[in-house]
Structures are given as C-alpha cells and as structure tokens.
A and B are shown apart, each in its own frame.
Chain A
Amino acid sequence: MGLYKLRQTDLSIRLAAIFFLIVLGYGYVFAFFMVKTYAGLTPTKVERTYERDQVANQSGLPAESQATTSAVNLARLAPEQHQVSEELLVQDSHIHVIMYAIIAALESLIIFGLEWRPTFRHTMIVAAFAAGMLDFSGQWLMKFGAPGFAYLTITSGWVMAAVYVVVLVRTVQVLLKKNSIGVQS
C-alpha cells in the first residue's frame, strides 16, 4: 500500500488532521507553562528537578548526624524547587510515554500525506517517536545520577516542538494548495 496525498483526501480527513494539530498545539502551550512553572527552563533547574533521590541508605550514612545552622530571611526564602521523585517519575513516565507514542503515531499518519521526500519524511517520523522516548530517557538518566542528561531532555523537548511545528506548517501549506480538492463524499 502506498502513501496518500492529504490535499486530495475527503474534507473530513483534512478537517480531522488540522483540528488534531490545532488542539495538540493548544495543549502544548499549557504544557510549556506547566514546565516553566514546575521544572524551570534552564538546564540547572531541570537537573535539580530530576536529581537523584536523597534516599537515606543506612549503610551510606555517616556514623553521626551532622548539623549546620544559618540565619534565614523569610522574605527571601526561595520557593522549594519542585522535585520529581523516583516514584513520581514512574507515574509520569507511564502516562507520558504512552501518550507520546500515540501522538507520534497520529502525527505520522499526517506526515504520510504531506508529500515529503522519503528521507525527510523518514527523519520526521523517527524524530516524532524518538523525541518522547529520549525526553524521559534523559529524566531517568538524571535520576540515576547523571545530571548532564538535562541537555538530552531539553533537546528532546525542542525536537518534539520542532516536529509539531513543521508538520503543522506543512499541513496548512498543503491544504491551501490550489489543487486541494473540495468535498468528496
């Protein structure tokens, strides 16, 4: 079975494709604000969000407790950086990774009809799936003690956004082409 041309499909299909992308973008805007609020937008904050849990492993503790005291200005008491524990990351992963796969699959269905050259089309499909997987791979690697993988998580997020935007813009372009056909019922 070959590919199809989105611009030559029934209006129902084109409507479904474009509205899926619009609503997905709407959700992504809120995803951005949520990430900005809770994880932060810098590698340092992302590292802090996913840093290794300070689980007290008795054998790894010093023999005696140690304490330090310092004055605190409550007016300047910085809000605690939101941290995702291992348990929370399991929850987040099982929800998000499944949704990423579904979103990448739906984006791929649209990509099939965008009349791109095979190499670019294949790249976009791989990027759509890989971004979500690498996003959470980076989070888990940070959780396992490799903070440098904040860059992997951040880059994956950007790749995900880029795939979305390219597909959206190309879809709009394709649907506005003069030889797009009208209603086929």
Chain B
Amino acid sequence: MKTLIDTRFAALILAAIACFGVKAYAHITPTVVMAKRGDVIRNSLPAATNYFVRKVTLGQRDYAKIKAQGNFSPEVSELKFFYGKNASGGFVGTVLFDEVNTIHGPIEVGIAFTPSGTVSDVVVTKATVETEPWVKTAISSGLMKNFTGMSAESMTDPLKGVSKSTLGAMPYFMAQVITTAVIRGVIYYNVLFQTHLPS
C-alpha cells in the first residue's frame, strides 16, 4: 500500500513538473512594442507599393565618417534601411530603426526620410514597462513634430521649446533619448544610405 502511494506521489510530482515546467529559460527586461515596424514603414511611406530592405555592414571608412559627423561611435555593425517604391518604380522614402540603450531599458525609434533625405516622420516603436508612460508624456508635448525637416545639413534643436520643468525629469530624459536616436539616424542615413540612393 505504501509503495502504491509513493508511486502515485512520484507520478504526481512528475506530472506537475511536466505541466508546470514553466519558469524554464531565461528572464529579460520586459519591453513594450508601441508600434509594429511593418505598420510604421507602411504608414510613413503611404505612396509605396513595393518595399525593400538594404542591409549595410559597416566598414571602417564609414565608421570614421559617422564618428566625425555625429560625434558618436556606432554601437552596431549592421544597419537595415527599409525603403519603398511606388507603382511606377519611383523611390518614395526610407525608414530606419535605431535603438538607444538606457539604464531603464532600450528605446527604439523609427525614423522616416523623404527621398531628399529630410526627416518626415518619427515614431517610438519600442520602450519598456517602466519607460512607456514617460515616452507617452514626451510625445504628448509635441516633440515629434520638431523632427520634421531635419537632415544632416539642417540639424535643428528638437528640444527647443520642450521644458523639463513642464514635462518632468523622466519624460524630458525620454525626449533626449528620442532626440539622440533621431540624430544618430540622420547621420546613419547621410553616411550609409544617401550616398547610394535607390534608382
């Protein structure tokens, strides 16, 4: 009898492990997808009917150019430029996603460019559970429209008119992070994409 109970008990444990085998694998900082990449590309390039991706593996010469132009060292060695063409094959614009790591987790920003290389749209695509409310507050300040028209030749200050005292410290920090992503994106576009625009 005792053996039977022990066997049943062992089976119960094994079944519980099998059912509840949860927890396995690793843990990660939870990110929040604020906008899907595909939606951002589609919405930012409304005239496009066909989409392409150009994957650029960074070379030393361009690395040096980026460092000189943007005063930062690229953190990734491969960048993806999504671009669209209209029905007649005309190039209609490009979208690049840049991620900035902060102590509160990563913030990813989608930056859309017109064919002439000016910023046409900026969308935050990824934040974290912690940063999402701050990002939303930063966006509600009207920050995103300040990026429109920016280019490597025309770097305005998007934070002009955005007040830390009005926004609060953390939303203002998020505004700075978004601005960093956009400025880096503009430099990446200028060095790695604009020099070889799609025909």
Contact with B along A42-70 (1 / 0, CB 8 A): 00001001100011111101111111111
Closest to B54 in A: A69
A54 x B78 contact (CB < 8 A): yes
B173: Cβ under 8 A from any A Cβ:
no
Asked whether A72 and B77 contact (CB < 8 A) given A67-B57, A88-B106, A139-B26, the answer is: no
B53 x A70 contact (CB < 8 A): yes
Main secondary structure of the interface of B (DSSP, over half): mixed
Q: Which residues of A contact B76 (CB under 8 A)?
A: 54-56
Q: Please, how many angstroms separate the alpha-carbon atoms of A31 and B21 in the complex?
A: 11
B16 x A165 contact (CB < 8 A): yes
Q: Please, how many angstroms separate the alpha-carbon atoms of A41 and B25 in the complex?
A: 7
B70: Cβ under 8 A from any A Cβ:
no
Query: Which one of B27-35, B111-119, B132-140, B154-162 is at the interface?
Result: B27-35
A68 x B54 contact (CB < 8 A): yes
- B26's partner among A61, A75, A135 (CB-CB below 8 A) is A135
Q: Please, how many angstroms separate the alpha-carbon atoms of A29 and B59 in the complex?
A: 45
- B29's partner among A77, A92, A153 (CB-CB below 8 A) is A92
B53 x A161 contact (CB < 8 A): no
B25 x A46 contact (CB < 8 A): yes
* Contacts of B40-55 to chain A: CB distance below 8 A: 41-42, 50-55
A82: Cβ under 8 A from any B Cβ:
yes
Q: Please, how many angstroms separate the alpha-carbon atoms of A63 and B57 in the complex?
A: 11
Asked whether A56 and B22 contact (CB < 8 A) given A49-B28, A71-B50, A161-B17, the answer is: no
Closest to A173 in B: B9
A161 x B77 contact (CB < 8 A): no
Contact with A along B48-82 (1 / 0, CB 8 A): 00111111111111111000000001111110001
Question: 18 A-B Cβ contacts within 8 A?
Answer: A28-B20, A31-B22, A31-B23, A35-B28, A39-B27, A41-B24, A54-B76, A54-B78, A55-B75, A58-B63, A69-B55, A75-B38, A135-B26, A139-B26, A153-B26, A157-B26, A165-B13, A165-B20
Chain A interface residues toward B at CB < 8 A: 25, 28-29, 31-32, 34-35, 38-41, 46, 49-50, 54-59, 61-75, 77, 79-80, 82, 84-85, 87-88, 91-92, 96, 135-136, 138-139, 153-154, 157-158, 160-162, 164-166, 168-169, 173
Chain B interface residues toward A at CB < 8 A: 9, 12-13, 16-17, 20-31, 33, 36-38, 41-42, 50-64, 73-78, 82, 101, 103, 105-106, 192, 196, 198
